[in-house]
Amino acid sequence: MTDALKRLSEEGVAIWLDDLSRKRITSGNLAELIDQQHVVGVTTNPSIFQKAISSGDGYEQQLADLAARKVTVEEAIRMITTADVRDAADILRPVFDATGGQDGRVSIEVDPRLAHNTAATVAEAKQLAWLVDRPNTLIKIPATKAGLPAIAEVIGLGISVNVTLIFSLARYREVMDAFLAGLEKAKERGLDLTKIHSVASFFVSRVDTEIDKRLDGIGTDEAKALKGKAALANARLAYEAYEEVFSSDRWAALDKAQANKQRPLWASTGVKDPAYKDTLYVDDLVAPNTVNTMPEATLEATADHGSITGDTIAGTYDAARAEIAAVEKLGISYDDVVQLLEDEGVEKFEAAWNDLLKSTEAELQRLAPSKG
């Protein structure tokens, strides 16, 4: 084992685990990862909960109790998922305290079926923050058009937010704008800005998956030479945008009020193409004040053979722009790709949520007390 995870942390990259289940909590596995693998946060999404709850491991008793109470399937899912998030938040509380609230956080997502409804997203975010009732929670809101005003409103209420499903540079700038607008609202309301935290989850591997597929379709040597480059280029240009926004005059006024920067979070960092190094989206996205949320396989791969050589984003912006331009020159539209990925991202989470509804409903029916 290398000490790559320790080096990654020392470079200013917070290591979060992109997974959660009751078994991970009760077995002591999460506590072990915090203690031994430098994990300082947890992210969840509808797909993660669908997988965890469908496995049934550790959920039977709570499901039986919920069935006895005849709760709706939506209420059952919220009771189960918020219980897991609350318990994980308690395990991470010492990290939260030690880092002044920056890390030690657990993310939980609003119902993905609300992704295009601003008012419902705000209401759901408030409800989730109330239900989990832990200061080290982040409420995940997707970066859809309807999500942007919801992000501003929820931040403005003093609720910390993880903005998810960001693929495009233009949308990322809109996300940062919504975050600043939210902080300005919170400041007007007299809220303590030091307590409000946010991360912006910029998705990585899916960009390569889609663009590589289109490059394969073109099939020329020039096209093949560009494979596996667009996702890193996109993420690096996102970091450039982050540096610009958080050195602006608008930010300076909030900085004076002791606001926290919204950190870029690299999401979807598990490599999808076996031809690429399995730590590609960790090794090559090292920069201060970032988060990398990893599935456990990527965490283990990084611990075993990650190559952390310092900042791998500084000085890359011109090359990154050239790589995106080269892809576009071949007729692959960047705007088309990132919009498709956002649409697909929302659809995938909605499908996972619907699967979770069906499997939970089946369990509630199976465990319902007989009418005898």
**Active site residues per annotation:** 140
15 strand-pairing partners: 39, 292
Tokens linked to 27: 């077995």
55 neighbors 338 (Cβ within 8 angstroms): no
Report the candidate in 53, 35, 33 with the shortest Cα–Cα distance to residue 45: 53
Query: β-strand 161-166 against 137-142: which pairing, if any?
Result: parallel
Q: Are 306 and 2 in contact (CB under 8 A)?
A: yes
Structure token pair of residue 152: 């501003």
CA atoms within 13 A on the CB side of 3: 5
33: which 2 tokens?
């990862």
Length of the chain: 372
Q: How many CB atoms lie within 10 A of CB 339?
A: 14
How far is Cα 137 from Cα 84, in angstroms, rounded to an integer?
Answer: 12
What sign does the CA torsion over 356, 361, 364, 367 have? negative
Q: Which residues contact 181 (CB under 8 A, 6 or more apart)?
A: 152, 155, 156
**Cα–Cα distance for residue pair 279/287, rounded to 1 Å:** 15
How far is the C-alpha of 26 from the C-alpha of 87, rounded, in Å?
9
Q: Which tokens sit at 78?
A: 């919220």
What is the rounded CA–CA span in Å between residue 330 and residue 325? 9
